[in-house]
Amino acid sequence: MKKVLIIFSVFLITISLQVKAQVTLEPNYVKEHYEKKEIAIPMRDGVKLFTTIYTPKDKSQQYPVLLNRTPYTVGPYGEDKFKESLGNFPAMTTEGYIFVYQDVRGKWMSEGTFEDIRPTNLKKGKREIDESTDTYDLLEWLSKNLQNYNGKAGMYGISYPGFYSTVSLVKTHPSLKAVSPQAPVTNWYMGDDFHHNGILFTGDAFKFMSSFGIPRPKPITPDQAPQTFQYPSKDVYQFYLDAGTAKDLKDKYFADSVKFWNDVFAHPHYDQFWKDREILPHVKNVKPAVMIVGGFFDAEDTYGTFETYKTIEKQNPNNNSILVVGPWFHGGWVRGDGSSFGDIQFDQKTSVTYQEQFELPFFNYYLKGKGDFKASEANIFITGSNQWKAFEKWPPQEVEDKKLYLQPQGKLGFDQVKRTDSWDEYVSDPNKPVPYQAGIMESRTREYMIDDQRFASSRPDVMVYQTEPLAADLTIVGPIKNFLKVSTSGTDADYVVKLIDVYPANSPSFNNKVMDGYQMLVRGEIMAGKYRNGFEKAEAMQPGFVTAIDYTMPDVAHTFKKGHRIMLQVQNTWFPLAERNPQQFFEGYEATAGDYRKATHRIFHDVNNSSYIQFAILK
């Protein structure tokens, strides 16, 4: 591990002189230094996509292109109206690029019909389209029509634009040399945004689709867009509780207007509809350099970050792809300095490090031949110890696998229980679901991913297990695998596992927040019991029988410091993040509000039925 740290330190010293991310742009900088053109560029089927091009006024040299394709508008619209900055952060604006923004098909000022996570069609005819062909056609047009263009293009995007960045890797245009999918939307059923392991994330799906999914019969500008949905109450927990089931919510709001909202309810299982929208199986023969970026505390697309990286690595063993993950919320690497998040501080400006050491040097090197970009394979910020570390592979190889067993009396330890009769029993009532965060929330917060869990640990329907204070630091890296042995008096149930860092007494306060006994969420995830044997088919649970619920949570990189405790919380509701399970078996969304039932649950931890989590620690 010392060798890994030295490599990373040398890398930082080597490139730290190249760029400074803390650039403050003067008012009208973009207007004074760039020319702007708005062009409707025809695709192979004749549909024209609205494209904005910012070209440096300095014509003494040629420039590469940085491309961003987005469903969120390329505005401001009008050739006399300019963005305040270009690229992901101001330092990109001053570096010297041709910035190209495009409204994707069917959004804002582009023609055509929009389709969410449009399926990729590898057997297309000459005029058939998907997002990869639209990207190709745009780059082809640029290569033939741009002035002062050096012929090299890069592409980047966060969230949905991250999806379009990933898609660009399918049958790539030869001019595309560097791509950075950042928190990319990847799989809206398995773990990004709207579903986690088969369970609808009601709040995120409803709030997003209530505005994003409204049909647009003709090209429009933002001032013509439908208004964002306004909750009738500032307490969204109560709003969703009063709404009844997710189907009740659909029937009351947008059922006749938002196509994808209806599609969600028409496809409760992982059927062909969702499989057609998988982009990762198509990401093969990747030619550009790739830098996947994400945050460990991203409430939207943590899943997509790691799955995109791992799949590209698996399917393209010779490709030049790297991973950068920090202690960030969704887009936090360019939406703040990254020195803290919620109540947790990181002792350094992690986002500034990313901007200066990774993103701009990455594009400068591959598009301009500038600098000597030699980033490691995986560049990871370890929370807890608050250190950047570099690895030759992710998940790392320099590790030791550990199992942490649930034990009687709320204990958690590395030794398996020897008793033959050991379990905890409690009652879960979906009519009184466990909230995902304390207090009154006007909307889903991003901070819940890292927030204090003491509000939940005192509830009788949350089972709590914790270790003794640690005798030495323990650093967990990679995915967390949950292996639960459970039973229920009902015929279905969901299971939430939360991995928590418990701070000791006399911990330093932060922003006047008392951190003594703080229960920092490191990772939480939910699993549908009815999909325990596969997501393509739902299966009822047998009342009273011991059942295995095994699933994997997204990767973490966290040091539990000496004197801290490791805690697990297990519960059956996580509201209103996740749709409540009626605790009776239904194939899809047929349940009514009257179908919600209390159920008695057991979590087993005996010699024959061990419940535990498995993870890797750094040696």
* Domain 197-275 top-level CATH class: mainly alpha
Note the pLDDT tens digit of each residue in 39-67: 999 999 999 999 999 999 999 999 999 99
Nearest C-alpha neighbor of 591 from the set 229, 191, 194, 200 = 200
How many helices and strands in the chain, by DSSP H and E?
14, 25
Confidence of residue 315 (pLDDT cuts 50, 70, 90): very high
What is the three-class DSSP state of 443? Answer: coil
User: Residue 32's CB: how many other CB atoms inside 10 A?
Assistant: 10
Instruction: Tell me the pTM.
Output: 0.95
From residue 150, give the alpha-carbon distance in Å to each of 56, 61, 360.
Answer: 13, 9, 18
Q: CA–CA separation, 229 vs 148, rounded Å?
A: 44
From residue 338, give the alpha-carbon distance in Å to each of 76, 341, 420.
Answer: 28, 7, 48
Nearest C-alpha neighbor of 49 from the set 79, 70, 76, 80 = 70
Spans of all domains in the chain: 2-187+277-391, 197-275, 399-618
Helix axes 202-212, 236-243, angle to 10 degrees: 90
Confidence of residue 510 (pLDDT cuts 50, 70, 90): confident
- Over residues 237-264, the mean pLDDT reads 91
Torsion angle defined by CA atoms of residues 215, 219, 222 and 228, in that order, rounded to the nearest 10 degrees? 0
Helix axes 160-167, 302-315, angle to 10 degrees: 10
* Domain topology for 2-187+277-391: Rossmann fold (3.40.50)
- Over residues 448-465, the mean pLDDT reads 97
Confidence of residue 22 (pLDDT cuts 50, 70, 90): confident
H or E element: which one contains 323? strand 321-326
Q: CA–CA separation, 116 vs 528, rounded Å?
A: 24
Confidence of residue 21 (pLDDT cuts 50, 70, 90): low
178, two tokens: 């560097």
| Residue located via tokens 């805690």 | 567
H-type helices in 409-548, by residue range? 454-457
By the 8 A CB rule, do 586 and 492 touch?
Answer: yes
- Over residues 424-449, the mean pLDDT reads 96
H or E element: which one contains 520? strand 519-528
By the 8 A CB rule, do 219 and 40 touch?
Answer: no
* pLDDT at residue 19, as a whole number: 59
H or E element: which one contains 100? strand 98-103
Query: Rounded to an integer, what is the distance from CA 446 to the centroid of its chain?
Result: 11
User: Is 90 exceeded by the pLDDT of residue 126?
Assistant: no
Per DSSP bridges, beta strands 176-182 and 149-158 are parallel
Which range is least confidently modeled, 50-64, 146-160, 248-262, 485-499? 248-262
Q: CA–CA separation, 147 vs 324, rounded Å?
A: 33
Spell out a b/e string for 497-524, using b for 16 or more CB atoms within 10 Å of the CB, else e.
Answer: bbbbbbbbeebeeeeeeebeebbbbbbb
Confidence of residue 329 (pLDDT cuts 50, 70, 90): very high
Q: CA–CA separation, 185 vs 106, rounded Å?
A: 18
Q: CA–CA separation, 9 vs 2, rounded Å?
A: 11
83, two tokens: 């963005």
The letter for the amino acid at 238 is Q
Nearest C-alpha neighbor of 103 from the set 145, 72, 134 = 72
From residue 354, give the alpha-carbon distance in Å to each of 151, 165, 308, 385.
Answer: 27, 19, 19, 18
**How deeply is 173 buried, as exposed, middle or buried, from its count of CB atoms within 10 A (0-12, 13-18, 19+)?**
buried
Spell out a b/e string for 137-152, using b for 16 or more CB atoms within 10 Å of the CB, else e.
Answer: bbbbbbeeebeebbeb
User: Is 50 exceeded by the pLDDT of residue 399?
Assistant: yes
* pLDDT at residue 257, as a whole number: 85
Distance between first and last Cα of the chain? 8
Note the pLDDT tens digit of each residue in 83-124: 999 999 999 999 999 999 999 999 999 999 999 999 998 777
* pLDDT at residue 4, as a whole number: 41
**How deeply is 96 buried, as exposed, middle or buried, from its count of CB atoms within 10 A (0-12, 13-18, 19+)?**
middle
User: Is 60 exceeded by the pLDDT of residue 129?
Assistant: yes
103, two tokens: 């409204």
Contacts of 189 (CB under 8 A, 6+ apart): 195, 198, 270, 274, 535
Nearest C-alpha neighbor of 570 from the set 545, 555, 551, 542 = 551
576, two tokens: 């209103």
The letter for the amino acid at 165 is S
User: Is 50 exceeded by the pLDDT of residue 2?
Assistant: no
| Residue located via tokens 């058939």 | 128
| Residue located via tokens 């420039």 | 63
Which range is least confidently modeled, 7-21, 45-59, 198-212, 297-311? 7-21
In CATH, the number for domain 399-618 is 2.60.120.260
* pLDDT at residue 9, as a whole number: 43
* pLDDT at residue 16, as a whole number: 40
Note the pLDDT tens digit of each residue in 293-304: 999 999 999 999
- Over residues 155-178, the mean pLDDT reads 98
User: Is 60 exceeded by the pLDDT of residue 502?
Assistant: yes
Note the pLDDT tens digit of each residue in 560-583: 999 999 999 999 999 999 999 999
488, two tokens: 């229920």
